[in-house]
Amino acid sequence: MALEIVLITGMSGSGKSVALHALEDAGYYCVDNLPPELLGAFVALEHKHHGNRVAIAMDVRSAASLPQVPEALQNLRAQGITVQSIFLDASTDTLVRRFSETRRRHPLSNDDSLVGQHALVQIIEIERELLAPLREHAHVIDTSVIRPAQLQSYVKSLVAVTPSTLLLVFQSFAFKRGIPVDADYVFDVRMLPNPYYEPQLRPLTGRDAPVIDFLRQHEEVALMQRHIEHFLAHWLEVLARSHRSYVTVAVGCTGGQHRSVYLVEQLAQAFGERWRVLRRHRELDDAKSQ
């Protein structure tokens, strides 16, 4: 069996430990904070002693050698090794809050005590710049408003998909909880007829038959779906030719329960025959994880 490597990178405080735990549960041999210059030798050693599935976490603590990582991953792929790269991100406000709550020191802080909020924001922005090359070549998961159980589920579903052609992730969300920072494309569907204002439909979701029937009665909904499909049908081919591995398409409505969920389900079905597709419903998944 071919060796499978999952590389977890991302912002400090974004949930890398949670992601590693999920991969460990999925049967991966996991190691945290591996220096990038040891990647090749480590992979060879672990393939010999721990089997075919290895997960590695790297972060800004190895800042000086992080520029080596993209080339090292290319070398591994050239050897026939399957490599998936996942980058965990979160908004700056979220990261500041998490550091404040846990009283952890940021890895880039030279002070042994927690830095002030203004200084912490500056450090986080420096970290974003240092990690930008890794983010560019990875599948990004925004952990700002999702629970650890959701993140574990997302990571497990991601590594369960065979990495061959482009992976297309459709995600519904609520604008009132913020736009996902991991989205490559964002479509706003708040102008469409809203099932929320129908009392019998309010407690349902865009996956329930009565809501589906309601939305299919409105030509504006069908027109929006056709427009999104036409846009993606053209540009996904272009992205695939440029060797993109992951594309996240976010569809947002007010509450993330009806219209965006419906359209994500329809789009995933429409593109599922051509591309590898994953569905995520941020607000519904959050409710299930509580």
List the binding residues for ATP: 10-17
Annotated binding site: 10-17, 59-62
Do 259 and 215 touch, CB atoms closer than 8 A?
Answer: yes
Contacts of 274 (CB under 8 A, 6+ apart): none
Annotated binding site for GTP: 59-62
